[in-house]
Every structure is written in C-alpha cells, then in structure tokens.
C-alpha cells in the first residue's frame, strides 16, 4: 500500500528558532531546535502517534555547538533510546562526543572526535546503524566513511575507498550489510563540474576486500525523470528494512526500490512536499 499519511501535529514553539528533523529510530523522531548559524539550542524526541514529546536538555558546554555528526538508536528490549552528538567544525575547539541515554536520563562524554575527520557540512548526513557501529560519510576534497563503535565509544576512519566518479553518495543499511547509493558521471566529475548525475548506482560493501561492489543502477526512464530536478547537492536518499527511497530536494517525486523483490516503482506525490525526511516506523509503545 503506497500511501502518504499526515501524522498528528506536535505543538513546538517555533518562535524559539527553526526546527529540523535529524534522525529517527523505533517509532521516535529526533528534532533539533537551531538558532543563528544552525547551532543547536535544544533537542526534542517526539512520538507523533501519541502526540508526545520530550525536551532533551543539552549539556551547558554543548549549547550553541553545531553538531556535524548526529544519530539516534532505539533499544527495543528496554524501550529506551540513545542520542549521539559530535562537532568537528574547525571553528569549534570542543570536539567531545556526547552520548545521551534515556534509560538513565543523562549525558556522558565519549572519546574526542579526531581532528582528521573534519569535513564539509553537507557531507555528514544522518548516521547509519550497522552491526553495532554508526557510520557517516565525510568530505575533504574526497569522500570517506567514518564509524563510531557503540560498545567501545571510539571513532575510526574506514579504509573503504569510495568508487571514483560517485557524486552525492549516501549510506544505507540492509540486513547487516552497508550499501552506497550515489550519482555517477566520471567525466564531468574529473572536470570539477557538478551537474545532475546521468545515472544513479547502488554498491554493496565487501568487508573482506574492503571494496564497494556495484550491484545495479536505477532504470533509465526513472533517471531521466529525476534528472529534471536532481543536482549534485540536493540528491536525497533514505533506506531501511529492505526498502530504498530516492528523491529530489523538495521530495515531491520519489522512487521506491524493494530490495527483496528487486523491483522499482514511483510513489504518489505527498500532499505537502518538504526538505527533510527520514524512515519512520510508527509505534504507540515507544517512550519519549
């Protein structure tokens, strides 16, 4: 059933700043309240089905920091959630990783984010949980993947070289494997020109070889339709539980890929296009 549903509205005070949907997990949404320059002022955990939200207080030293890496994890056995925040922008001297656990209702600090992970703002999208690690993509003239080990609380830079010619890449988890989704146009990439990608490909990580293996590409008719709007910086992609969704920057044209059935199809246009999206799995039981 391909239908869009309007979730119940949550009354957050928009006079305090701008709100941004940054992550989701276990039927909960993580919303960031930002001030001038996208710096974090507050975090809200929302269960839209129950119309409940919880304001997660930031540590005093974290107030006003612009988080580069953000993630949310839900623990079904304890019905609790964890939030990870870290900033590595050069203007922020504080590179401490902060970890919130709703089971104890407090923040703890983890290892310092290595300085070599400094990256452009647009490259660090929402983290992807896979086998006890949270992964992000960074950009320093080239794309690279970084990971945070939830058990040890330590950061690590992977050795997985992003395939040449891939633009606007995204990470997606599928049944314990990592997928890379990105536009491809090797010739124009080498010319330092960033047009709408001529093709969109999917790669799966071969962990033994440490290489990305291309598995398939978006059907040409769908690429042709998406290219009318997609460009280098506004290519959108999310995925979870065997489904992948690709869209333009206003999310009014969405391609869905069923990984189990290896089938592609268009979703109907949502009633209200937006600029921020995530995979949401509704749950009345999830506690804020």
- 154 CB neighbour count, 10 Å cutoff: 13
Structural domain includes residue 190? yes
pLDDT by residue (tens digit) across 101-116?
Answer: 999 999 888 877 777 6
Domain span including residue 186: 159-282
| Banded model confidence at residue 273, pLDDT cuts 50, 70, 90 | low
Asked whether residue 171 carries a pLDDT value surpassing 90, the answer given is yes
Most distant CA atoms of the chain, gap in Å:
52
Q: Average pLDDT, stretch 78-83?
A: 93
pLDDT by residue (tens digit) across 227-239?
Answer: 776 654 557 888 8
42: Cβ contacts below 8 Å, ≥ 6 apart: 16, 32, 33, 55, 56, 57, 58
Q: Quick one: tokens of 70? A: 């953000």
Query: Domains in the chain: how many in total?
Result: 1
pLDDT by residue (tens digit) across 157-166?
Answer: 888 888 887 8
More confident residue, 256 or 70: 256
Structural domain includes residue 218? yes
Structural domain includes residue 147? no
pTM value? 0.85
pLDDT by residue (tens digit) across 124-156?
Answer: 567 899 999 999 888 777 788 889 999 998 888
Structural domain includes residue 33? no
Q: Average pLDDT, stretch 214-239?
A: 78
pLDDT by residue (tens digit) across 17-60?
Answer: 677 788 899 999 998 876 655 556 778 899 988 888 888 887 65
Structural domain includes residue 229? yes
Structural domain includes residue 9? no
Q: Average pLDDT, stretch 202-208?
A: 94
Structural domain includes residue 11? no
Instruction: Please give the backbone phi and psi of residue 212, each rounded to the nearest 5 degrees, phi first.
Output: -95, 125
Q: What is residue 149's predicted lDDT score, i.e. its pLDDT?
A: 93
| Banded model confidence at residue 271, pLDDT cuts 50, 70, 90 | confident
What residues does 100 pair with on adjacent strands?
83, 107
Q: What is residue 205's predicted lDDT score, i.e. its pLDDT?
A: 95
Cα–Cα distance for residue pair 4/104, rounded to 1 Å: 35
Structural domain includes residue 268? yes
Output the average pLDDT for the chain.
Answer: 79
Asked whether residue 61 carries a pLDDT value surpassing 60, the answer given is no
């Amino acid at each position: 059933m391909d239908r869009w549903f309007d979730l119940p509205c949550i009354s957050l005070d928009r006079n305090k700043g701008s709100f941004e949907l940054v992550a989701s997990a276990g039927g909960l949404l993580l919303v960031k309240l930002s001030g001038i320059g996208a710096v974090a002022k507050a975090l809200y955990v929302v269960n839209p089905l129950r119309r409940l939200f919880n304001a997660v207080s930031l540590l005093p030293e974290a107030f006003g920091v612009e988080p580069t890496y953000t993630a949310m994890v839900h623990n079904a056995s304890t019905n609790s959630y964890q939030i990870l925040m870290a900033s590595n922008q050069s203007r922020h001297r504080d590179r401490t990783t902060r970890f919130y656990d709703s089971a104890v209702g407090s923040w703890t600090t983890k290892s310092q984010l290595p300085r070599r992970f400094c990256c452009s703002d647009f490259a660090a999208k929402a983290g992807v949980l896979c086998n006890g690690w949270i992964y992000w993509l960074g950009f320093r003239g080239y794309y690279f993947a970084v990971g945070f080990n939830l058990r040890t609380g330590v950061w690590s830079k992977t050795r997985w070289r992003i395939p040449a010619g891939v633009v606007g890449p995204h990470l997606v988890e599928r049944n314990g494997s990592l997928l890379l989704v990105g536009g491809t146009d090797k010739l124009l990439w080498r010319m330092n020109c960033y047009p709408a990608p001529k093709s969109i490909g999917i790669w799966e990580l071969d962990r033994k070889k440490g290489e990305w293996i291309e598995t398939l590409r978006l059907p040409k008719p769908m690429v042709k339709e998406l290219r009318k709007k997609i460009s280098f910086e506004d290519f959108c992609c999310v995925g979870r539980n065997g489904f992948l969704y690709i869209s333009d920057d206003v999310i009014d044209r969405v391609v869905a890929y069923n990984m189990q059935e290896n089938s592609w199809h268009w979703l109907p246009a949502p009633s209200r296009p937006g600029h921020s999206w995530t995979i949401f799995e509704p749950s009345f039981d999830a506690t804020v």
